[in-house]
Amino acid sequence: MQIANANRLTPYLFLAPAALVMAVALLYPIGYMIYASFLDWNPSQRIGEAEFVGLRNYVNLLSDAAFRESFWVTLKFAAVVVTIEMVLGVGLALLLDRNIRGMSVLRTLFILPMMIAPIVVGLMWRYMYHPSVGIFNRTIKSMGFEPIPWLSDGNWAFASVVIADVWQWTPFIFILSLAALQSLPQSAMEAARIDGATGWQQIVYIKLPLMMPVLIVTLLLRLIDAFKVLEVILVLTNGGPGLSTEILSLRISRTASEFRELGEAAAMSNYLLILLVILTFAMFAYNKAVEARTARLRKAAEEDL
């Protein structure tokens, strides 16, 4: 009996160190942040001196037009960049999934933008967008057109940060999609070819559905990242003009350092966290539903035989 008990406990014993590390490294900071979000906390105070204000930070934020604006900008930014990146990344992977000479060099070149530090990406694009000496406006002017106010007009500034982000992160989707494509079962592809499927049909009915699990994870990773992007926008526009590119993570950082409201910054982070958790769950729930449906269909098909 005792031995059985001990046996049952052994796995937990082995898990304990990992669980402990997890609790200290993950739960403690999150708990700290949640606690801080209930405080009116100025960085010149210690946390113990801060006044407990309950849900005031959360309530204030809901009626704060600047916060709502920045929440909206974040949603818009994430939706736009992730859509463009998914289409471009998967498209490129489908195009380049073949044996051409020098393919490995090409692939390495494609993922270069991803390897550059975000601050450097920001600076680089900032110089390219420069109104008078930047490459874009110089080219446009030499062709006889009016220069574009890349960073000094709200709509253009939003487009500019989207372009920079797409440039940097499309390779991420590309490389994961390519890996997914290359691990697809050759038998399915061969069967499709024998059945006379066109290239387009192969993509739509065979490749994409088989890649779906990988694509969903990729999408999720990119989406989470897009919600947290900071450095490139910080360097490019610092949120301006007006609030046109002030995404949530930038607003959080400004709230903490410029407005000196640590409690409110923590509450904002929690809103962002809640949003991301909902998104993640929704995505996994969808994935599960799709899997269940496929399993049901397969079972039905097997029963028919």
Partner 1 sequence: MLSLTKMLTGTAVRASLTGTAVSATMAGALFANPYEPYEGTTLVINVPAHPHYNAMMKVLPAFTEETGIEVEVDQLQYLKMRERQTLELTKDEGDYDMIAYVVFSKADYVYADQLENLAKYFMNPALADPNYDQADLISGYVENIGVAGGQKGYLPGQLGSAFGIPFGSETSVLAYRKDIFEKHGIPVPENYDQLLDAACKIPEVEPGMGGMASRAASGHQASHAFLLHLAPLGGRVFDDNWEPIINNEAGVAAANALKTIVDCGPDGSQTFGPAEAAAAFQQGQAAMFMDSIAFAAGFEDPSKSTVAGKVGYALHPEGVRRGSQTGGFGIAIPKNAQNKEAAFLLMQWLTSKEGDLMVAMAGGNPSRFSTYENAELNEKYPYSATFGEALKYADPDWRPIIPTWGKINADIGTIMSQVLTEGLDPQEALNGVAERARAIMDEAGYYTWQ
Compare residues 130 and 228 and give the one whose CB is closer to partner 1: 130
Pull the structure tokens for residue 57: 């930070």
CB atoms within 10 A of CB 265: 24
Compare residues 129 and 227 and give the one whose CB is closer to partner 1: 129
Compare residues 126 and 222 and give the one whose CB is closer to partner 1: 126
Q: Prior bond to 241 cis, omega within 30?
A: yes
Compare residues 97 and 231 and give the one whose CB is closer to partner 1: 231
Kindly list the residues in this chain that would bind partner 1 in the complex (CB under 8 A): 42-46, 66, 130-132, 137, 147, 149, 151-154, 237-243, 246, 254, 257-261
Q: Which of 206, 130, 222 is nearest to 171 (CA)?
A: 222
CB of 263 to partner 1, least distance (A): 13
CB of 244 to partner 1, least distance (A): 8
- Distance (Å, rounded) from C-alpha 288 to C-alpha 99? 35
CB of 223 to partner 1, least distance (A): 26
CB of 115 to partner 1, least distance (A): 26
CB of 229 to partner 1, least distance (A): 18
Pull the structure tokens for residue 166: 């797409």
Compare residues 150 and 271 and give the one whose CB is closer to partner 1: 150
CB of 161 to partner 1, least distance (A): 13
Compare residues 222 and 254 and give the one whose CB is closer to partner 1: 254
* Type and span of the H or E element at 52: strand 51-52
- Distance (Å, rounded) from C-alpha 182 to C-alpha 195? 21
12-36 burial: b if 16+ Cβ within 10 Å, else e: eeeeeeeeeeeeeeeeeeeeebeeb
Pull the structure tokens for residue 20: 């402990």
